[in-house]
Amino acid sequence: MNFISLLKKIFLLKKEKTTADDLMKKFLIVGLGNIGDNYQNTRHNIGFTILDELAKNKELNFENEKLGAVSKFRFKGRTFVLLKPSTYMNLSGKSIKYWLTKENIPLENLLIICDDLNLPFGSIRVKAKGSDGGHNGLKDVNAILQTQKYARFRFGVGAEFSKGKQCNFVLGDWSSDELKLLPERLTKATELIISFGLAGLNNTMNAFNGK
């Protein structure tokens, strides 16, 4: 092997290593929700709301792209891709799979944010895997990705509804009391997202679960 060929081989090896390192530093953060003004401030759209809060803090705008609204930013060597699927809640999997593939992001760097009726309002629960728990958005994600092994961030919306009124409750607006407490909870949620990228899933679970 001549000197020029050796240099080319070294360069290619370095390039491949850099690419692999870069992939592990890129994260897809998905907020589940429904598009349209009618859903904007509803409990079911907390995923969208949290990403909107983070984008506002970072002075970012979302751009309407294929299968979702997307915004990106870099922070401390990490790249965060924020996605609000435009496929409606119950068909979220198609958008998530597309953006994982397009951005070449490994499954372990995916975090999905959704509402949870089984948690009190404002409660935070981060898990590394699990069933859909009756959440139709997660049910579709599980089916499309063919796995339950991805990180999910469940935000408690409570269950203050009478029998048969679950749908009206999750698709309803926040109460006045909830709106007073929501800003602090949104701040905590955005901190969690940054922690997921910088500190990793296990450290994030230890730091935020139950807070």
Copy the structure tokens of residue 73. 């930013």
| Spatial CA neighbour of 32 closest among 112, 127, 140 | 112
Q: Does residue 44 carry a catalytic annotation?
A: yes
**In degrees to the nearest 10, what's the CA dihedral of 122, 149, 147, 39?**
20
Alpha-carbon distances, residue 157 vs 28, 121, 122 (angstroms): 23, 4, 6
- Using CA atoms, how far apart are residues 163 and 28, in angstroms rounded to an integer? 36
Q: Which of 44, 152, 154, 185 is catalytic?
A: 44
Sheet holding 68-75, edge to edge: 63-65, 68-75, 78-85, 26-31, 110-116, 151-156, 124-127
| Spatial CA neighbour of 36 closest among 69, 72, 83 | 69
**Catalytic residue ranges:** 44
